Structure 1
Amino acid sequence: MAQRFILILLLLVVGDLYFYQAVTTLTQNPLLHTAYWLVDLGIIGGIASILFIRRAGHTPQRLINGLMAALLLIFIPRLFSSVLLMAEDVTRLFRGFPARNLYVSEATLALAGVVFLVVLFGLTTGKHFYQLKRETLYFPDLPEAFDGFTITQFSDVHSGSFTDAKGVQKGLDLVKDQKSDLLLFTGDLVNNMASEMDPWIPRFATLHAPYGNYSVLGNHDYGDYARWESSAAKAANLERLKAIHEEIGFKLLLNEAVTIRKQDQSISLVGVENWGKGGFHKYGDLEKATANVPDNAFKILMSHDPSHWDEVTLGHNQHIHLTLAGHTHGMQFGIEMFGFKWSPIKYFYKQWAGLYQQGSKYLYVNRGFGFHGLRGRIGIWPEITVLTLKRGAAAVQAA
């Protein structure tokens, strides 16, 4: 993981140096050149300050958020637009490296301006730019009564990050407008504290589905990333959060399964606590959750972290037809257009956004309803997912 971070940092540095060549091609003004590097030094100084403050036992969250925004607004436009200069260098290589073309440098600055506006949109409006994603999944053993059954999934609310009530309501209204049969939430209701959810309880309590609302816990819900005065205080916080799930009308599944009945047929909905690879806690227990589930039951699993699918679910002794996850947020940064998708998170998670398939087993990774860390979303927009279950031969390919 450290090597990947170093690679990303190296790309930013190379992009910065390349972009500077466009600046020097278009102007020889020493004040502008100095200003260019002063901005870089300011950001480097900010990073050093954060490291110093954190070593002293403090977490300057506002400074971190501001610095992250500055990094994105400054370095991302430079990195993306520098591709034009790199392409020019390919041609200059065969022409004896003549002086840079003024038009290419102008185009580089223009592209940087466009990318800057996209990043600015993401930091201001993108956090509530909700997108509806629809998938139809086919299963030969789906009970006939559930043919056409619809599920709305949302994930990663992170209510402690919210400041815009109208923006949040926009997303909740989109959830309600789907009028799905079943409503599922796949974890991370808060950042750390159960109290973060208090102002939002009345709004989330308006969500209803005819076959029920169900939820699981995410890694942030346990309070593992906050300092507590005692283990009892941390435990009390978790108990309060569990009560909040009930107050907003969601049945929290803690390594257990419930039966969803329609007419005289049924499917099993399984929910595990958070289980993640690497340094994440492994509270989830799929064996316990499926202990009373018949082997031949049609099963839908809610598991917050998608790494659980590869590491545990696929090899489980019971066939899990569909797994729903979240957690990655798509890193809240990337590109999705015309069927292409990319985000730096793909170098850390094999399955990070959208639909995946292995044989007759599916995984859907929701991009998240809220945001955390980065105070916005750039290219990877907040998502509401609607899945339609159909009886028949599989017709959907892996994303």
Structure 2
Amino acid sequence: MARRLLLMLLIFVVSDIYFYQAIVTLTGSPLIHLVYWLIDISLFAGILFIVFVRRTGSNAQRFIAILMSAMLLMFIPKVFSSLVLLAEDIVRVFEGFPPRSIYVSEAAAVLAGIFFLIILFGLTRGRHFYKVKKETLYFPDLPEAFDGFTITQLSDVHSGSLSDVKGVQKGLDMADAQNSDLLLFTGDLVNNMASEMTPWIPLFAKLKAPYGKYSVLGNHDYGDYIRWESKTAKDANLNHLKEIHSEIGFKLLLNESVTISKHGQSIALIGVENWGKGGFHKYGDLKRATAGVPDNAFKILMSHDPSHWDEVTVDHDQHVHLTLAGHTHGMQFGIELFGFKWSPVKYVYKQWAGLYQQGGKYLYVNRGFGYHGLKGRVGIWPEITVLTLKRGDGEY
């Protein structure tokens, strides 16, 4: 991880210096040159402040969010436009290093401007640029009554970050419009405190699904990332959050399972508490959650962190047909075009967005409904997942 961060920092520094060459070619104004470096110095000073001075508290979190946005706006356009300047330098090597072409520098500046506008869109409008992602999954042992059964999955609301009522309502209306049989939420309703969800209860309570609404907890829901005056206060917050799940009409599954019945047949819906690799708490207990589930039951598992799938679920005693997760947000930054997808989060999580398969078992990782940290989304848009279950041997 440290090597990757150092590599990213090196790329930013080199591209920054490279892009400055285009600025020098286009203008000789000392004032513009000074402003260019003052912006850079301010950003790096902000990074050093967060790393070495203060990293906790609400003010620090707001500062980090602003800093992340500024870094994306200032550095990412330079990285891509510097590739144009690099290509020019390769040509200049064979030509004896003539002066830089003003036209190439203009092209680099225009490209940087385009990426700047794309990122600006993501930071201002991207947080509610919802996308409906649909997948059809085939299972040979799916009960016949559930052939064509639909599931809408939401994840990572992070209500403490939300502020635009109309934007949130737009996403909820899109989710409701899918008219799915079952509605599942895979964790992180809040950032830290249950009270963050209070103003949003009326909106989320209107969501409906004929076969019910079910949910699990995510890592942020436990209040582990802020200081509490006492353990009693922290426990009370978690209990309040559990009550809110009920208020918005969701049955919260805490290492337990329920049976979903249709026309005399059934499937098992399992929900575990958060379980994550590395430094994340491992509250989830899949063995306990499946204790009363028949071995031959068709099983759908809700587990917030996708690392649980690799570490526990795939090799679990019972065959879990489909696991639904969230957590990664796709890092809220990346590229998804024409089937290609990339985000820096792929270097942390093997399964970070979309559909995965291993040994006849499926995992779907939702990109998240809300946002946290970065106050927006660039390229990795907020998601409403719709899964259709089909009986048969279709190909993934």
Name the TM-score, length of structure 2 as normaliser: 0.97
The aligned counterpart of 1:95 is: 95
Aligned equivalents of 2:167 and 2:291: distance in 1?
A: 41
Partner secondary structure for residue 390 of structure 2: strand
Q: For 1:301-312, list aligned pairs within 5 A.
A: 301-312=301-312
Cα drift, residue 359 of structure 1: 2.6
Partner secondary structure for residue 54 of structure 2: helix
Show CA shifts across 1:77-111 (max 9, x none). Answer: 11122121122233333333332222221111001
Indicate yes or no: 2:39 matched with 1:39.
yes
Show CA shifts across 1:177-207 (max 9, x none). Answer: 0000000000000000000000000110001
Aligned AA (1:337): L
Aligned AA (2:84): L
Show CA shifts across 1:312-350 (max 9, x none). Answer: 111111111111000000000111111111111111111
The aligned counterpart of 1:242 is: 242
CA distance change for structure 1 residues 296 and 184 in 2, over 3 Å: closer, same or farther?
A: same
The aligned counterpart of 2:277 is: 277
Show CA shifts across 1:345-380 (max 9, x none). Answer: 111111111111113111100000000000011111
Cα drift, residue 57 of structure 1: 7.4
Moved more, 96-105 or 152-161: 96-105
The aligned counterpart of 1:216 is: 216
Show CA shifts across 1:37-90 (max 9, x none). Answer: 111011122223334541797852222222121111111111122121122233
Q: For 1:175-214, list aligned pairs within 5 A.
A: 175-214=175-214
Partner secondary structure for residue 54 of structure 1: coil
Show CA shifts across 1:113-137 (max 9, x none). Answer: 0111111111111100100100001
The aligned counterpart of 1:81 is: 81
The aligned counterpart of 1:298 is: 298
Aligned equivalents of 2:302 and 2:248: distance in 1?
A: 18
Moved more, 43-52 or 134-143: 43-52
Indicate yes or no: 2:270 matched with 1:265.
no
Cα drift, residue 282 of structure 1: 0.5
Residue pair 1:360, 1:394 contacting (<8 A) in 2 also: no
Show CA shifts across 1:218-261 (max 9, x none). Answer: 00000000110000100000000001001100000001111111
Residue pair 2:214, 2:251 contacting (<8 A) in 1 also: yes
Aligned equivalents of 1:338 and 1:91: distance in 2?
A: 31
Name the TM-score, length of structure 1 as normaliser: 0.96
The aligned counterpart of 1:8 is: 8
Aligned equivalents of 2:356 and 2:248: distance in 1?
A: 30
Residue pair 1:345, 1:352 contacting (<8 A) in 2 also: yes
Aligned equivalents of 2:143 and 2:100: distance in 1?
A: 66
Aligned AA (1:362): Y
Q: For 1:150-165, list aligned pairs within 5 A.
A: 150-165=150-165
Aligned equivalents of 2:90 and 2:138: distance in 1?
A: 48
Residue pair 2:122, 2:377 contacting (<8 A) in 1 also: yes
Aligned equivalents of 2:295 and 2:88: distance in 1?
A: 61
Unaligned runs of 5+ in 2: none
Aligned equivalents of 2:56 and 2:252: distance in 1?
A: 38
Partner secondary structure for residue 96 of structure 1: coil
Partner secondary structure for residue 172 of structure 2: helix
CA distance change for structure 1 residues 58 and 392 in 2, over 3 Å: closer, same or farther?
A: closer
Cα drift, residue 24 of structure 1: 1.4
Moved more, 94-103 or 14-23: 94-103
Aligned equivalents of 2:84 and 2:291: distance in 1?
A: 57
Aligned equivalents of 1:312 and 1:117: distance in 2?
A: 42
Cα drift, residue 29 of structure 1: 2.0
Residue pair 1:53, 1:60 contacting (<8 A) in 2 also: no
Residue pair 1:53, 1:59 contacting (<8 A) in 2 also: no
Q: For 1:220-369, list aligned pairs within 5 A.
A: 220-369=220-369
CA distance change for structure 1 residues 184 and 349 in 2, over 3 Å: closer, same or farther?
A: same
CA distance change for structure 1 residues 19 and 168 in 2, over 3 Å: closer, same or farther?
A: same
Partner secondary structure for residue 270 of structure 1: strand
Aligned AA (1:230): S
The aligned counterpart of 2:379 is: 379
Identity %: 73
CA distance change for structure 1 residues 21 and 385 in 2, over 3 Å: closer, same or farther?
A: same
Partner secondary structure for residue 379 of structure 1: coil
Residue pair 1:132, 1:386 contacting (<8 A) in 2 also: yes
Partner secondary structure for residue 60 of structure 1: helix
Aligned Cα RMSD in Å? 1.4
Aligned equivalents of 2:31 and 2:258: distance in 1?
A: 67
Indicate yes or no: 2:66 matched with 1:66.
yes
CA distance change for structure 1 residues 55 and 114 in 2, over 3 Å: closer, same or farther?
A: closer
